[in-house]
Amino acid sequence: QHYKSITFIEHNMSNSEAPVGSKRKSRVSDKDTPSTNHVKRHPVPVKEPVMAELAPECAAGIIVKFRDVTAAAYRTKSGIQKTPLVKSEALSAILGCELYLKKEYELRTGSFKERGARNALLKLTDEERKKGVIAASAGNHALALAYHGGLLDVTVTVVMPVVAPIMKISQCQEMKANVIVHGASIAEAKDHAMTIVEKSGQIYINGYDHPDIISGQGTIGLEICSQVEDVDAIIVPVGGGGLIAGVAVAAKNMNPDVKIIGVEAVRCKSFTEALKAGKPVRAATHVSLADGLAVPTVGLNAFVTAQPLVDKVVTVSEKAIALAILRLIEIEKAVVEGSGVVGLAALMDGLLPELAGKKVVTILCGGNIDTTVLGRCLERGLAADGRLLSFTVVVKDAPGGMNSLTQMLTDSGASIKDILHERAWLLEDVFAVRVRCMVETRNSEHTEHVKSMLASNFRHVEFIGMCDHSTDTPNGP
């Protein structure tokens, strides 16, 4: 009743009836598989607020202009470094396009959020600076405000939910921000922040929909167009919509022929839902490797700015995100968070075939990933790449029984990562033991070889979850 995907290993299984090389597949929903969505144009009621909790500057449907972005670039040039944009020869050969990587994760706090944060802080009046600013954020926006608030001598308060990574909470405190940990989600943290605003008069800076934030993020588009001549397409991660709105304004004004393509995680399709409805609407959000994109409702300012300029939006699976994180580490030696790799994931997953042979830039927008989460991502990436195999096999519970299995795996070149004996559930044969094992292989072809070898030499073998993450069900704990 509570879990969408579950497999029971029956204690009374009749092993004598199991066929050689038998498999058991867990039931996985194919709901919410990756999709592509070409943008449909809808008239937008610009003056209609869609969320009661929006800060005043985010409730009027303000369209950010090119002059706002260029002004932001001039305003922030002394405090924001120009990030590298490099061609990846290896990934270009693999993907069949001329791929450039915009390395926003190399900024001081590890993400593009610094651009908008510094721009917004610099535009404060003297009176607003005295009051200080406040924001609700689980990570990158909080870090950006804390860092640049310290540089500009502006008091910064950040409300972070209890699920925010401890590392990011500590970093904000080290940067002298007033950190309040409150709420089980970012929505609850925001509600608390708005309550504080009513009492203190602090200036609330929305992390993705404040016009000055959008203008600041747009400076990435200016840099891209100056760094890559005649770029054909820019692929942008989409969460609340501020990044793609700013980049689209800048890039389309400098190169009207450039294609702006947004990429969302399949577990939070808020921009896709907004395009369908013609206005921001609340979308279902679920836990994702691209946690920074899990914004249930896109910003109204961001949406009305981006909608006429975005050419296409696609959604990517958790499998593709995990595999993209792995590829960047292995090929580019770059540690990028799940939110930052979705553009590469879309290319690797074949969702953008029209970009073959084109000059393409994908924005690696952040690198703030916890080490524990990184370990999980790498393991899932290995599984998605067909380089992890999990199985159970019945061997003799006698001297040499285990040796026959381990020696066979050794001879095949597979590396054992985990192994477990299960005696209690094997009731038919007291002189046998079921062994649950996970091994690492070189590639999917090697995995198939190991599977064939096990099926040929052991009568009772069952392969579990063989790197099948092609569907991403959003249900579960």
DSSP 201-231: -PEE--TTTSHHHHHHHTHHHHHHHHHSTT-
Mean pLDDT of the 146-171 span: 91
**Average pLDDT in the 239-268 region?**
96
- Reported as a single tens digit per residue, the pLDDT across 355-382 is 999 999 999 999 998 888 888 888 888 8
pLDDT band at 292, cuts 50/70/90?
confident
At 94 the pLDDT is 95
Look at residue 43 and tell me whether its pLDDT is greater than 60: no
445 φ, ψ (degrees, to nearest 5): -65, -40
Q: Which pLDDT does position 44 carry in this prediction?
A: 42
- pLDDT of the residue at 426: 64
pLDDT at 130: 94
pLDDT in the model for residue 196: 95
Helices 444-457/401-412 angle, 10° precision: 150
Give every CB contact of residue 325 below 8 A, 6+ residues apart in sequence.
289, 336, 337, 338, 341, 369, 374, 377, 378, 381
pLDDT in tens, 410-468: 989 999 989 888 776 666 677 788 888 999 999 888 989 999 999 888 888 888 864 44
Greater model confidence, 405 or 91:
91
How far is Cα 465 from Cα 391, in angstroms, rounded to an integer?
A: 8
Quote the distance between the C-alpha of residue 344 and its chain's center. 11
pLDDT of residue 5: 63
- Supply the mean pLDDT for the chain: 85
Looking at residue 232, its pLDDT comes to 97
What pLDDT was estimated at residue 26?
Answer: 38
The span from the CA of 149 to the CA of 176, in Å, is: 9
233-249 pLDDT, tens digit each: 999 999 999 999 999 99
